[in-house]
Structures are given as C-alpha cells and as structure tokens.
C-alpha cells in the first residue's frame, strides 16, 4: 500500500511532472453523493492529493454548466477525465475579439433626432440588463451616465467589483454591475488594469453601442457629428471583463463570466468574441451559451471578420444569434485635387489641420524600397492594403505632408462596402475605385512635375446603396451544422461611432504610441454589428418580457429586409455582385418590424436535443452540451429543427425533401396568412397548406415544405429561395438554401 501511495503521490507532484495549465472540468451533477453537503467539497474530492500546493480549483460553475475551473497537470487531467462523474475536460483556449448614426439608419431615431416607435411606446429596455463580455469599460464616459434612469431592476443580483482604478462609486443606475475574470493569469504579470476598467477600447465601444445614453454633439474630430445613442439607451449594463492586453480572451474566463452573468440576472448577453468551430460537445463556450439560453438569456454573437471566404463564420450554434456586418448610409469623403484639374474622390478620417486648398504639393509614387529622404514636402502615393495610421506616422517623421493610398476594390465602388477607417495623422485620401487608380497613375506617369492637394469633405449621409454586405464579414455555410444557415442576419458594423476610453488613442494600429484623445471613436467589424442586435434584443425583451430567446431571435430573423435603400438586392462588398444568404443570412435587422412580427418560430430545449440527435451526436455528448440526461435519441432530420430558415441537401439519390415548420401567432387580432414562394433556380418548392388561419394569440399552426430538384447534374452548388407568409400587415419570411 505504501509503495502504491508513493507512486500515486509522485505521479501528481507538479514539480516532477508536466507543467500546470487551466482546464474546464464538466461534471454530471446527479452523480453527487449525499455525503457531500455542497458541490465544492465534492469537486475537491475528485482531485488527486494536492501534496505541496494549494487547492487547484479556481472557480465553481453552477448555471451554464456544472463543474469547475482548475489548474492541473496533464497527469491530473487524465486522472480526473477517467472519473465516471466527469463528462468533459476542456482545455483553456484562446479566443479573439472581432474587431451614432446607426439608430437613425435603423429608424429608431428620425433624421430630425426624434425617437422612433420603439421608444415612443414607453420605457422599453429599462427593466432589461445586458451583460457585455469584452475588454471592460471606461465608466466615466457620458454614454454611461444614469441621468433620467429609474430604479435598478429588482431581479438584478450582481455587484460592482472593485479593482485597480475602479471603485464601486463608478457604478450607477445605468452601469449596474462590473466584474473581471483572470482565472488563468498571474496578476503580477498583467499589463492591464486589474479590474473591469478598459485599457483597449473595444469593450467601451461595444457597451455604448448596446445601451449608451444619448449624448449630443458627439463626433470624432468633427466627423460623424450628431447625437450618439446606444440602440437601447434605457437598458442597464453589466460588464464582464474577460479579455486582457497581450493575453487575449481565454475560454476559462469566458465560461466563468457566462455562469456569473446568469447568476447575476442578466437578460441579454452581448459577445463580440470569436469562438472556434468544433463539435459542440468539444466547445465549452458553446456549452455555456446553451446553458445561458436554457436559463432564458438571449445570446448575441459576432460572425467573425474572415470574409469573404466561404465557411468562415464563427459562433455557429443554433441557440445563439450570429451577426454579420453591413454598411450604413454614411461615408467620410476626401479628395485629391490634381494640378491638371482632375478631382479624384476617396475617403479618410484625419485629425489634424488641413492642407491649404490653393497650394499644390509635389506628388511622388513610392515603393517600399525608396529612399525616404526624397519624401520631404511631398504627398506620397502608394499601393497596398495597409491603410493604418502607422504608415502616416512613418511618412510624417520623414517630412511628407500627405498620403494617397490606392486600394483597388472594383470599378464601381468607392469604399468597397468594407473600407476600415483608421484616424490618420497626415492628410490622407484612400482610393478604392479602379477608375480613380487609373487616373492618378496615368497622371503620375505623364506629368513631369505632378502636383496636387488633399481636401477633406467631412461627413456625407444618405449614401446609396446601403446596406452593402461588408467584404470582411464571415460567410457561411455552417461548417458544423449545414442544416442551419449562418450568419443569422446582418447589422451595422462598418465605421461605427461609439464611446472610447480617455487613455487610449483613436488608432487601433498605434498601440501605446497614439497620444491623441477622443471621447468617441470609429471602429469596424462584426464586433460592432453584434451589439446592435444585442440592443434590439433588449428593446424586444422590454416590450415583451415573457418572450423566450428563440422568440426574440425569430422576430428579428423573419422581419429582416433583403433590399437596400435603392430597392435592389443586397450587394456583396467584395466583388460588388448580388449577395447571398451565406453573407447576410435572413437579411438586415429591422427593429420596428421585429416589435410586431405576427408569427414566430419557437424552439425549446427538447427541440435542440432532437436536433443534436439528428446531427449524429450520441447520448453522452448531448448530455454534455445540454446538461440534460439523455437515455435515447429520437430519429429525425437536422433540418426539422423549428429554425426560422431552411437549409437542405439534394442529390441524385434523394432529390426530394420534406421539412416541417410550426408558427405561433403573437399578435392579438384574428388573421389569415397566405404563402408566397420564391423558388431557387432549378428547384421547386411547394407548401401545404397555402393558407394559415389564426383565431387567437398563442395559437399554433404547422405547415410542410416540399423541396425537390428538377434536374441534378454537374458540380455541386447552392441555390437560394425564400418563403414568406403575409396577412396584409405582417410579412414573415425565411431564406431557403438548397445544395444540389
């Protein structure tokens, strides 16, 4: 016995074995022996003797999953993983962040600054708490004032956690809670505020986009001037800092934050962080998101910035909302005026004094290897996709007076639907149209002494077309569940103005060296589109407190629009061609319509279990994902999940598919809906019945969609269609993707 005990002890002695790492240990709660009064004592009993170390458990998980986060060696992981009560041991993986006028663009505020329908109805959102998992917050910003806010919602149980430069006094009736999570890091090694204070800007920006109070005269150096407002300005904010400078965002901190947010009483979680694509049972964040949904919390996530490549979408579980990015109808035009009279229009944001419009400066076309001494006093023209302010700093240091960056997108677009603005330190013009590029290079080649000057034109509104699907926005299809169209929809995510920390410069590319200050900043990415939808969800939850996460999701998806402000189909910002649902999902979010969607597609925990069964997950894996004991699986097809979109595969052996959907009326009036079908190319879609009659609120009706391919030949491809139910007041739509 002594010999065995010594071997056992040596096996788990950290100094003699593998290096310790952080793991998320998932436990089957029903296995707890009655001799343990609490779960923490039981969890400790699972661990091998700690010997000369402290208790390795860093955090206990109680809500979004059952288990704990612990620091373990590889040998200890093997021991714990073999215990019958342990259903999963997940490594601590790294996740990346996906990084004013928009309430007007979304018709929440009129162009005259008056509030729209959602706000006129009442204090929508004032009883709703939005949890933001991000880099923290700069609480002193005016966007987080509690002026005019009523009492804190009674269901709130969270706290304002103190830390470095962050006291309880900074919280108020707007910012009602703040916590920070650093389960993986040595506090002495953190080059960040050891608190919920934001030293990167990303979290401050997303939080104010969700629920920032209205702030007048907001701008960044005069650009995008107007009233800055969060989408749900009356909603409350709870901040969960899970991302740290130079340390990214770790899954252990993220899962712990999800768990704590549910315990605190949040209603909505806004998650602008990338979560990798893997089997759902292998993804602790996806499991935590399921747990949040199971507790009635709506989770909004960013689709990722890896577009325009197909199969690039992140955050793909059907129980979360996955949001891609589109443009808004605003640009920041700038011109390069050539000495020959030509005026070429591009875009830029510049924070300094302008060049004189009556003075023309020498132009020089440079390459990376050119002698920098010849650049003094000149406007530098170069090609490439590096449009960061860093290039301007380098040129300013050698005496250049301005720069023209040629980033050719196509011959039609000036902006490409995805031009990522940085705040430049030199007068700058970014040219994206091929015609403009040809003109400036022709002039440079033909003129012996080319000259020009740069003029900023400020802010231009009512730009057409808009929205354009941003080329960087990640695309479907869904790599794990091809029966679910992802992203679910798009929202504003290009050049979004929102609050910014006082100690962080406006250029995200000049980390630590940008000494400029601004109260607001412009960022681009699906990180920006996600909080727009989080804000809309808060408004909907405020208007309909009894709505489940699936109802909130359905209302936004089925009322989303798919035509731009010119009445044409959405354009893909990459090639300026017609976009598909792989880029925009169900369409662009439409808050006013989502308030009264007419019909919704409900989904329950049991529905998701059936979906996972049909997706070939086994009982143990499903139990791990859903925190529900599964003894047998129901047979079915994954596309039978009552999702507000349809995605199926057809082939020569099976060129006909039947899909069932059930809708619930959420309007009060008696209604009769008629179906309208847009058939995909080469595919015939029929619906039975073709009419649905409802006599009361909460009445349910089902219909069957028959999808058949007329002829299947050649290479596999995906074609798209659409089904809409219309009653004269509501249009309830869903996209159809057919792989043939």
**285/145 same-domain check:** yes
Which one from 63, 95, 119, 134 is the annotated catalytic residue?
134
Residue 689 is classified by DSSP as S
Q: Is 736 helix (H, G, I), strand (E, B) or coil?
A: strand
The answer to whether residue 27 is domain-embedded is yes
**159/262 same-domain check:** yes
Q: What is the gyration radius of the CA atoms in the chain, in angstroms? A: 27
Q: How many domains does the chain have?
A: 5
**158/306 same-domain check:** yes
Nearest to 309 by CA among 168, 477, 143: 477
The answer to whether residue 96 is domain-embedded is no
Q: Which tens digits make up the pLDDT trace of 252-269?
A: 999 999 999 999 999 999
Q: How far is residue 563's CA from residue 187's CA, in Å, rounded to a whole number?
A: 50
As a whole number, mean pLDDT of residues 614-640 equals: 91
Question: Residue 207 pLDDT > 70, yes or no?
Answer: yes
Q: How far is residue 653's CA from residue 706's CA, in Å, rounded to a whole number?
A: 16
The answer to whether residue 433 is domain-embedded is yes
**Residue that wins the pLDDT comparison between 47 and 472:** 472
**708/624 same-domain check:** no
Q: How far is residue 684's CA from residue 723's CA, in Å, rounded to a whole number?
A: 12
**379/437 same-domain check:** yes
**Enclosing domain of residue 41:** 21-91
Q: How far is residue 678's CA from residue 739's CA, in Å, rounded to a whole number?
A: 16
**186/287 same-domain check:** yes
Contact by Cβ (8 Å): 601, 643: yes
Question: Residue 11 pLDDT > 50, yes or no?
Answer: no
User: Helices 284-294 and 619-626: crossing angle, nearest 10°?
Assistant: 60
Q: Which tens digits make up the pLDDT trace of 718-731?
A: 999 999 999 999 99
Which residues on adjacent β-strands are paired with residue 288? Answer: none
CATH of the domain at 701: 2.60.40.2310
134 has catalytic annotation: yes
pLDDT for the residue numbered 122: 34
Contact by Cβ (8 Å): 303, 474: yes
Residue 642 is classified by DSSP as -
Which one from 527, 615, 647, 733 is the annotated catalytic residue?
527
As a whole number, mean pLDDT of residues 125-147 equals: 97
Nearest to 601 by CA among 657, 649, 640, 647: 640
Terminal CA-to-CA distance of the chain, rounded, Å? 65
Nearest to 269 by CA among 243, 245, 302, 244: 302
Could you please report the per-residue DSSP string of 217-252? EEEETTEEEEEE--SSTTSEEEEEE-EETTTEEEHH
Q: How far is residue 415's CA from residue 420's CA, in Å, rounded to a whole number?
A: 9
Q: How far is residue 685's CA from residue 736's CA, in Å, rounded to a whole number?
A: 10
The answer to whether residue 598 is domain-embedded is no
Q: How far is residue 585's CA from residue 326's CA, in Å, rounded to a whole number?
A: 12
The answer to whether residue 99 is domain-embedded is no
**245/361 same-domain check:** no
**481/396 same-domain check:** no
As a whole number, mean pLDDT of residues 414-433 equals: 78
- 339-374 as b/e: b if 16+ CB within 10 A: beeeebbbbbbbbeeebeeeebbbbbbbeeeeeeee
pLDDT band at 107 (very low <50, low <70, confident <90, very high): low
**424/352 same-domain check:** yes
As a whole number, mean pLDDT of residues 406-435 equals: 74
The answer to whether residue 3 is domain-embedded is no
Domain boundary, last residue among 456, 482, 516: 456
> Distance between alpha carbon 736 and the CA centroid of its chain, in Å?
23
Q: How high does pLDDT run on average in the chain?
A: 89
As a whole number, mean pLDDT of residues 298-306 equals: 96
> Which stretches of 596-723 are DSSP H helices?
605-614, 619-626
CATH of the domain at 174: 3.40.50.200
Q: Within a 10 A sphere around the Cβ of 168, how many other Cβ atoms?
A: 10
Which one from 202, 205, 532, 588 is the annotated catalytic residue?
202
Question: Residue 100 pLDDT > 60, yes or no?
Answer: no
Contact by Cβ (8 Å): 194, 161: no
Contact by Cβ (8 Å): 67, 43: yes
As a whole number, mean pLDDT of residues 111-136 equals: 72
**589/701 same-domain check:** no
CATH of the domain at 46: 3.30.70
727 has catalytic annotation: no
pLDDT for the residue numbered 387: 78
**355/450 same-domain check:** yes
Q: Which tens digits make up the pLDDT trace of 566-603?
A: 999 999 988 889 999 999 999 999 999 999 999 999 99
pLDDT for the residue numbered 415: 45
CATH of the domain at 403: 3.50.30.30
Domain boundary, last residue among 423, 456, 489: 456
Domain boundary, last residue among 408, 423, 456: 456
Q: How far is residue 35's CA from residue 549's CA, in Å, rounded to a whole number?
A: 37
The answer to whether residue 571 is domain-embedded is yes
Q: How far is residue 59's CA from residue 40's CA, in Å, rounded to a whole number?
A: 9
pLDDT band at 402 (very low <50, low <70, confident <90, very high): very high
CA torsion sign for 28, 32, 36, 37 is: positive
pLDDT for the residue numbered 54: 65
**80/179 same-domain check:** no
Q: How far is residue 599's CA from residue 58's CA, in Å, rounded to a whole number?
A: 45
pLDDT for the residue numbered 408: 67
Q: How far is residue 630's CA from residue 619's CA, in Å, rounded to a whole number?
A: 5
As a whole number, mean pLDDT of residues 448-456 equals: 96
The answer to whether residue 549 is domain-embedded is yes
654 has catalytic annotation: no
> Which stretches of 635-678 are DSSP H helices?
none
Could you please report the per-residue DSSP string of 314-356? ----TTSEEEEEE--SEE-EEEEEETTS-EEEEE-EE-SPPPP
The residue with tokens 């590096």 is 386
């Amino acid at each position: 016995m002594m010999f065995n005990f010594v071997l056992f002890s040596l096996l788990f002695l950290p100094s003699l074995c593998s290096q310790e790492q952080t793991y998320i240990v998932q436990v089957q709660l029903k296995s707890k022996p009655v001799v343990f009064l609490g779960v923490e004592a039981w969890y400790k009993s699972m661990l091998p003797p700690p010997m000369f170390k402290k208790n390795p458990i860093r955090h206990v998980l109680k809500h979004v999953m059952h288990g704990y986060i612990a620091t373990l060696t590889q040998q200890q992981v093997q021991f714990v993983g073999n215990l019958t009560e342990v259903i999963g041991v997940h490594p601590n993986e790294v996740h990346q962040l996906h990084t004013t006028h928009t309430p007007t663009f979304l018709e929440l505020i009129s162009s005259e600054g008056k509030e729209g329908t959602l706000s006129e109805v009442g204090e929508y959102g004032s009883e709703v708490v939005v949890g933001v998992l991000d880099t923290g917050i700069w609480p002193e910003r005016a966007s987080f004032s509690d002026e005019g806010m009523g009492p804190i919602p009674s269901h709130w149980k969270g706290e304002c956690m103190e830390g470095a430069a962050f006291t309880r006094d900074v919280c108020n009736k707007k910012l009602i809670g703040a916590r920070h999570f650093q389960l993986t890091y040595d506090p002495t090694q953190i080059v960040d505020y050891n608190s919920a204070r934001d030293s990167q800007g990303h979290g401050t920006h997303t939080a104010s986009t969700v629920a920032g109070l209205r702030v007048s005269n907001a701008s960044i150096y005069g650009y995008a001037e107007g009233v800055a407002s969060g989408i749900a300005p009356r909603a409350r904010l709870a901040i969960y800092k899970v991302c740290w400078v130079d340390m990214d965002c770790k899954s252990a901190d993220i899962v712990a934050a999800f768990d704590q947010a549910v315990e605190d009483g949040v209603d909505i979680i806004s998650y602008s962080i990338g979560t990798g694509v893997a089997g759902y049972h292998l993804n602790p964040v996806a499991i935590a998101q399921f747990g949040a949904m199971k507790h009635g919390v709506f989770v909004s996530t960013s689709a990722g910035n890896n577009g325009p490549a197909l199969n690039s979408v992140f955050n793909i579980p059907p129980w979360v909302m996955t949001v891609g990015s589109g443009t808004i109808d605003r640009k920041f035009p700038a011109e390069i005026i050539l000495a020959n009279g030509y005026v070429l229009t591009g875009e830029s944001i510049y924070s300094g004094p302008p060049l004189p419009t009556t003075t023309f400066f020498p132009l020089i076309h440079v390459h990376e290897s050119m002698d920098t001494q010849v650049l003094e006093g000149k406007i530098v023209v170069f090609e490439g996709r590096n449009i960061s302010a860093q290039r301007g700093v380098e040129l300013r240091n050698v005496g250049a007076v301005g720069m023209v960056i040629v980033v050719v997108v196509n011959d039609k677009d000036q902006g490409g639907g995805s031009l990522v603005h940085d705040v430049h330190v030199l007068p700058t013009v970014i040219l994206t149209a091929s015609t403009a590029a040809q003109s400036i290079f022709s002039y440079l080649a033909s003129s012996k002494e080319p000259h020009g000057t740069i003029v900023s034109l400020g802010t231009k509104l009512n730009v057409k077309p808009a929205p354009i699907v941003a080329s960087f926005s990640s695309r479907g299809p869904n790599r794990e569940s091809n029966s679910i169209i992802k992203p679910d929809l798009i929202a504003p995510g290009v050049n979004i103005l929102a609050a910014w920390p006082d100690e962080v410069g406006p250029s995200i590319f000049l980390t630590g060296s940008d000494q400029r200050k601004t109260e607001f900043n412009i960022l681009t990415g699906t990180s920006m589109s996600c909080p727009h939808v989080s804000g809309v969800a808060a408004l909907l939850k405020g208007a309909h407190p009894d709505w489940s996460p699936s109802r909130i999701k359905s209302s936004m998806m089925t009322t989303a629009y798919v035509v731009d402000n010119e009445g044409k189909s959405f354009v893909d910002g990459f090639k300026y061609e017609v976009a598909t649902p792989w880029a925009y999902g169900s369409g662009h979010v439409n808050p006013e319509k989502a308030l009264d969607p007419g019909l919704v597609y409900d989904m329950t925990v049991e529905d998701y279990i059936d979906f996972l069964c049909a997706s070939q997950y086994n009982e143990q894996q499903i139990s791990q994902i859903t925190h529900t004991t599964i003894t047998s699986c129901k047979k079915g097809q994954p596309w039978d999940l009552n999702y507000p979109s349809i995605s199926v595969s057809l082939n020569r052996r099976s060129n006909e598919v039947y899909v069932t959907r059930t809708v619930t009326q959420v309007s009060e009036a008696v209604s009769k809906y008629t179906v309208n079908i847009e058939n995909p190319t080469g595919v015939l879609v029929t619906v039975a019945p073709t009419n649905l009659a409802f006599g009361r609120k909460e009445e349910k009706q089902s219909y069957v969609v028959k999808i058949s391919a007329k002829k299947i030949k050649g290479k596999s491809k995906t074609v798209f269609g659409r089904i809409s139910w219309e009653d004269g007041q509501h249009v309830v739509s869903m996209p159809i993707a057919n792989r043939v």
